[in-house]
Amino acid sequence: MARKTANDDPLAPVTLAVGQEDLLLDRAVQEVVAAARAADADTDVRDLTPDQVQPGTLAELTSPSLFAERKVVVVRNAQDLSADTIKDVKSYLGSPAEEITLVLLHAGAAKGKGLLDAARKAGAREVACPKMTKPADRLAFVRGEFRSFGRSATPEACQALVDAIGSDLRELASAAAQLVADVEGTIDEAVVGRYYTGRAEASSFTVADRAVEGRTAEALEALRWSLATGVAPVMITSALAQGVRAIGKLSSARGGRPADLARELGMPPWKIDRVRQQMRGWTPDGVAVALRAVAEADAGVKGGGDDPEYALEKAVVTIARAARSRGRG
């Protein structure tokens, strides 16, 4: 979820939404608009792109009205404003108008940093909307979605939803809302599986889980289904790599409680329990063989081979065999 500064009043004179996650940026705007319309149902909302904000535009929009109406002025991609317009905005930040809330959406990069710094110096309410590129961030987002509805979901259910839906935050939010609307009580992994069976089976992580568990036939079935439903081969090799590396990291770690190992290895405690179950047939040599297989498959799907599907099938079979290497002699 978006992080906010200590000034958490959505009706603050200026709100600065910083980041590149579109869903979070839109929610930052929606929160301000909802608060303004709760205070005044006739609030005028102007949602503008940089090309619509010319020198003098902001002064015109924020000038006193005969009707003293409340107004929300949203400026998207503020980092792309012209130099002269940025001067106007900086000047406005020093003396914002009453009954008007200015919302600046800024990517947060080096471009337009002077405006970003000026808004912060002026005491703008800030909402962080970072791009969620890490699986752990998306997992935290899903947990937050369920909490925002006042509902409980198990860690396994949250992970299953991320595995099934992928990285699109809008789809994750929609899926969480659908589950909350349709399901009573705690949302668990079985519920997610029932709702998203096709997508969960097609998940790259399902392929990886079956492979590192040594379940060759199921892993190949999941792989073929995954490819047939449009999952990118590179996503599958990435999931295979994560699965094998998790086995290697945990097998070489010192014993301890899941919470301690989670901190040491950078995994959630429930993931430690799952990997412990998956690693029973593994040996250090098996991990090395599996990692080589993943590297070869990765090269194959990125242009190093003629048949990405064959490269993936070969890797899945090799990993599944490596998972049963203990005791084969």
Going from the N-terminus, what domains does the chain have, and what CATH number goes with each?
14-129 (3.40.50.300), 135-196 (1.10.8), 204-323 (1.20.272.10)
Query: How many Cα neighbours within 13 Å face the side chain of 121?
Result: 12
Q: pLDDT tens for residues 171-193? A: 889 889 989 988 899 999 888 88
- The token pair at 149 is 């509805």
pTM (predicted TM-score): 0.61
- The token pair at 73 is 């002025």
- The token pair at 312 is 């993936």
Q: pLDDT tens for residues 116-148? A: 999 999 999 999 999 888 888 889 999 999 999
Check pLDDT > 90 for residue 329: no
CA distances from 71 to 29, 91, 102, 121, 221 (A): 13, 19, 9, 23, 56
Other C-beta atoms lying within 10 Å of the C-beta of residue 261: 22
Q: pLDDT tens for residues 294-320? A: 999 998 888 766 788 999 999 999 999
Check pLDDT > 50 for residue 201: no
- Which residues, including other chains, have CB under 8 Å from residue 249's CB and lie 6 or more apart? 265, 267
- Alpha helix stretches (DSSP H) within the chain: 22-39, 57-61, 83-94, 113-121, 135-148, 155-165, 169-182, 189-195, 197-201, 204-212, 216-228, 233-251, 258-265, 269-278, 284-299, 308-322
Sheet hosting strand 14-19, strand order edge to edge: 3-4, 125-129, 14-19, 100-106, 71-75, 44-48
Instruction: Please give the DSSP secondary-structure letter assigned to residue 127.
Output: E
Region 22-39 average pLDDT: 93
Q: pLDDT tens for residues 220-244? A: 988 888 887 777 788 889 889 988 9
Region 101-116 average pLDDT: 94
pLDDT at 259: 66
Region 47-55 average pLDDT: 93
Percent of the chain beyond pLDDT 70? 88
CA distances from 63 to 54, 101, 163 (A): 15, 12, 50
- The token pair at 220 is 């190949």
pLDDT at 163: 78
Check pLDDT > 70 for residue 106: yes
Higher pLDDT: 291 or 325? It is 291
Region 50-54 average pLDDT: 93
